[in-house]
Structure 1
Amino acid sequence: MFASRRTLLAAALSTAFAVAAPLAQAADAPITIMVGGINKIIYLPAKLTEALGYFKDEGLNVELQSQPAGVDAENQLIAGAVQGVVGFYDHTIDLQSKGKEIEAIAVFCKVPGEVELVSTKASATFKSMANAKGMTLGVTGLGSSTEFLTRYLADRAGIASKDYSLLPVGAGNTFVAAMKQDRIQGGMTTEPTVSQMLKTGDAKVLVDLRTESGTQAAIGGLYPAASLYVQNEWANAHKEQAAKLAHAFARTMAYIQTHSAEQITELVPRDYYGSDKALYVEALKASLPMFTADGKMPAGGPETVLKVLAAYKPQVKSKNIDLSKTYTNAFLTAKP
């Protein structure tokens, strides 16, 4: 009987340790971060932090992976396949409305950095979002931040969702092809695709969310966007690693503020700009003002994002959302 009790005790301890294992991840264990389109300038801090060696300086073993649409990256996070996502902050609010607790621990952009483009073919009659009726608008993916923003811009212009169509076309080359083929008449995308399409003359700017003034005019406030977000449970169980990640990204944000677009471009992979390095530099110059200086959440930003999502998502209402659980600056000030 004594032996059987020892067997039962050993089995119980084994089960307990197995359950605790994910929370007791070693300090030097690999951290996988999924980026919602790693070559987009809005997500540049991810690759730049790696290139500058800031992850290694913090003693972190970080692997960056790319996923074209942020909504797919968040699914990887919820499934536990990755520890963090570089994507738009608005997903933390959307996911909380679905019972998932996700928080941004470093914020890269105080504005979306997105641009609603209109094809040159359609520009004669499609001069503002008020003309979107009957149009097909491109987004990276359904459930993505580009969908959230597109719907809000149309709604604010008085265009009901039934009066236009959304088509998921991804980003980069697939977005360009969709507009050239007239499968979409307008669409939301980021740099360097924006500068590329303006240079070729295939598109014109309809709504510019790359600057604070443009975002204030279109949305009514700052819209914190690109950020590093993790599951709240993971952050609470890995406070040291979370602080080291936040510190690494904060150093990168400071680097961006103190270096030129030309200097930064020298650190990115060659395939980010291909055969037109000058175009990439110009696109980066146009984007630099959108970045935060310290990785912290801009004041009033979460409230603006909640307002945008609440405009067309019935489950996303202020009474249902605790914004304090969707972001934290604590890891930026914590000693790792």
Structure 2
Amino acid sequence: MPKPRVLIGLLATLLVTTLTACGGTASGGGSSTLKVAVTTPTWNAGFATFLLAQSQGYFADEGLDVQFSLPPSGTQAAQQVIAGGADIALVTPEPVIIGASKGTDLAYFASYYGDWIYSLATLDGSHISKVADLKGKRIGVTNVSSSGATFARVALQMAGLREDDATLVPIGVGAQQVSAIKDGQVDALALWDTQYQIVKNAGIHLTDLPVQEMAGVFGGGFAARKSRLDADSDAFVKFGRAFAKGVVYTQANPEAAIRAMWKVEPDTRPAAGIPEADALAQQVKVLQVRLKGLGVPAGKKDWGTIDPGGVRRAVDFARKAGLIDKPVDVDKIVDTSLLKDINDFSRDEVLKQASARK
């Protein structure tokens, strides 16, 4: 199966940046700054845990100044880390697996998405019941370079179609996205878990379009250069611990996480004319989807664990899809040696803090 054309240039860029990469901001001289590339077009409720951890001072308590950037695709997030522009990338498996096949040293040190987050869905009246029915149809994506778009191309190929047998239509996010769907600009969607909930919140009815090959595939998480994980492990432990505290807090008090997001990123507040209580309820629904997808039930002690079998399935998927032409060893792209120290904190203390905000 041929590789999707959209990835060819990106792979070349990954190789070039690997050869010129420099160290991140947390190494050398004991700097306390960590730059984190979060793959999302905009802040939304699905990422409220990040801003809750920041608002609660969990990063500051660890002596970290965490600076976020929002690259619109996982490939761009991975490139930032490889080139030294960021220390950590929140990414799905494709760029890490592809990078490993080309000689980069990105490795996951903690999971974030327990399972694969991208999927296909159809709209009412589309008469689409299987992926092969997408031939000649329009598939809505946030942008044509997004991981959702890549997934759509691969899903078409795995169904025996060419990647250009369907048209990918960029529909953005938020109100622009909802308007495009309601106006009938697309027949199907290739989005991710929380984006689908945002669409459902707008009263749009969707039907899942299963891609069986994705069952049990690792969804992705926090990745850094393996050399950095080895040389500056303390900084990554501190980041992971602060974020894990944010997860525990958010699970106990999701409403407080949404309000923290509104405070830190005012653009995420409800638009004029929308009652705050209604907006809070809708955004909590989005956040709950993400919390469920973390694969860490409330009360579970170990955050960030990675199932090697799920990673192996992700590698198998990448090879079947033509994203790589040779196997990638799971041990090359996963390093869970920091998780014990990351999870070394008092959950009871965090729960007390969350309870106090109710």
Q: Compute the TM-score of the two structures, normalised by the length of structure 2.
A: 0.73
Indicate which of 123, 127, 136 corresponds to 2:129: 127
After TM superposition, which residue ranges in structure 1, 4 or more long, deviate above 6 angstroms?
A: 19-23
Conservation of the 8 A alpha-carbon contact between 2:109 and 2:223: yes
Q: AA paired with 1:297?
A: I
CA offsets 1:274-327 (integer angstroms, 9 cap, x no match): 242221112223332211330121341101211222122253432xx1221212
Indicate which of 313, 338, 345 corresponds to 1:331: 338
Conservation of the 8 A alpha-carbon contact between 1:117 and 1:188: yes
Say whether residues 1:49 and 2:53 are aligned partners. yes
Name the CA shift for 1:327/1:148 in 2 (closer, same or farther; >3 Å).
Answer: farther
CA drift of 1:85 comes to 1.5
Partner of 2:200: 198
Indicate which of 268, 280, 284 corresponds to 1:272: 268
Partner of 2:10: none
Conservation of the 8 A alpha-carbon contact between 1:89 and 1:224: yes
Indicate which of 211, 214, 217 corresponds to 1:219: 214
Conservation of the 8 A alpha-carbon contact between 1:119 and 1:203: yes
**Aligned residues, how many?**
305
CA drift of 1:73 comes to 2.2
Say whether residues 1:282 and 2:282 are aligned partners. no
Q: AA paired with 2:306?
A: M
Give the SS at the match of 1:163: coil
Task: Output the CA distance in 1 between the equivalents of 2:142 and 2:326.
Answer: 25
Task: Output the CA distance in 2 between the equivalents of 1:236 and 1:170.
Answer: 38
Q: AA paired with 2:66?
A: V
Partner of 1:33: 36
Aligned ranges for residues 187-336 of structure 1 at < 5 Å? 187-190=189-192, 192-207=194-209, 219-225=214-220, 227-257=221-251, 259-269=252-262, 271-272=267-268, 274=270, 275=274, 276-293=279-296, 294-313=303-322, 315-318=324-327, 321-334=328-341
Name the CA shift for 1:261/1:268 in 2 (closer, same or farther; >3 Å).
Answer: same
Conservation of the 8 A alpha-carbon contact between 1:48 and 1:268: yes
Conservation of the 8 A alpha-carbon contact between 1:137 and 1:165: yes
Task: Output the CA distance in 2 between the equivalents of 1:328 and 1:140.
Answer: 31
Aligned ranges for residues 101-116 of structure 1 at < 5 Å? 101-116=105-120
CA drift of 1:228 comes to 1.6
Say whether residues 1:97 and 2:73 are aligned partners. no
Q: AA paired with 2:304?
A: G
CA drift of 1:159 comes to 3.6
Consecutive unaligned residues in structure 2, runs of 5 or more:
1-21, 297-302, 345-358
Give the SS at the match of 1:255: helix
Q: AA paired with 2:260?
A: L
Give the SS at the match of 1:267: helix
Indicate which of 63, 68, 87 corresponds to 2:67: 63
Q: AA paired with 2:307?
A: P
Conservation of the 8 A alpha-carbon contact between 1:45 and 1:108: no
Task: Output the CA distance in 2 between the equivalents of 1:244 and 1:142.
Answer: 35
Give the SS at the match of 1:300: helix
Task: Output the CA distance in 1 between the equivalents of 2:334 and 2:260.
Answer: 29
Conservation of the 8 A alpha-carbon contact between 1:222 and 1:304: yes
Consecutive unaligned residues in structure 1, runs of 5 or more:
1-18, 209-214
CA offsets 1:43-76 (integer angstroms, 9 cap, x no match): 4433232123221121111111222333322232
Q: AA paired with 1:300?
A: G
CA drift of 1:155 comes to 4.0
Partner of 2:355: none
Task: Output the CA distance in 2 between the equivalents of 1:22 and 1:158.
Answer: 45
Conservation of the 8 A alpha-carbon contact between 1:33 and 1:65: yes
CA drift of 1:170 comes to 4.2
CA offsets 1:142-165 (integer angstroms, 9 cap, x no match): 554323432343344444434223
Name the CA shift for 1:31/1:155 in 2 (closer, same or farther; >3 Å).
Answer: same
CA offsets 1:79-115 (integer angstroms, 9 cap, x no match): 2222222222332112212322211222112123344
Name the CA shift for 1:105/1:168 in 2 (closer, same or farther; >3 Å).
Answer: farther
Identity value in percent = 21
Superposition RMSD in Å: 3.1
Conservation of the 8 A alpha-carbon contact between 2:39 and 2:73: yes
Q: AA paired with 2:135?
A: K
Task: Output the CA distance in 2 between the equivalents of 1:273 and 1:128.
Answer: 38
Say whether residues 1:77 and 2:81 are aligned partners. yes
